[in-house]
């Protein structure tokens, strides 16, 4: 079971830069903005276990990790993806060594890079 305190919910929203409205929308409005306000203020009376688990699952799906001690909340960094421009430059570099056709090189020939060649 995921355990999440009201303060952890506030911190998770802050880390994600989400409003209560955005969080409610993420829950397909299964929880209201007012309920989130009451829960995070510690005034929600006996919140349902399923609701808390669904809210924690929403945050966790966006990279939030909760500690079981009810104190720590962290946002895992997303792995960086190589940029398209860098990938295209790398591909152009690799292709610059490929022969235009099979007959362009004799067996045993290797392409050479001459200083000053540009892509």
Residue 2: pLDDT band by 50, 70, 90 thresholds?
low
Percent of the chain with pLDDT over 70: 72
pLDDT, tens digit, 9 for 90 and up, residues 42-64? 999 888 888 898 999 999 999 99
The CATH architecture that domain 6-75 belongs to is Orthogonal Bundle (1.10)
E strands, the chain, are 64-66, 73-75
Looking at residue 1, what is its pLDDT? 45
Cα–Cα distance, 18 to 77 (Å, whole number): 17
């Amino acid at each position: 079971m995921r355990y999440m305190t009201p303060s952890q919910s506030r911190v998770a929203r802050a880390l994600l830069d989400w409003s209560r409205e955005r969080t409610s929308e993420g829950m397909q409005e299964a929880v209201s903005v007012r309920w989130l306000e009451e829960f995070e203020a510690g005034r929600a009376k006996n919140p349902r276990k399923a609701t808390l688990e669904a809210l924690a699952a929403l945050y966790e799906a966006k990279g939030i990790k909760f500690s079981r001690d009810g104190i720590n909340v962290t946002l895992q960094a997303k792995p960086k993806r190589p940029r398209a421009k860098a990938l295209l430059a790398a591909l152009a570099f690799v292709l610059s060594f490929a022969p235009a056709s099979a007959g362009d090189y004799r067996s045993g020939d290797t392409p050479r890079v001459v200083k000053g060649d540009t892509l």
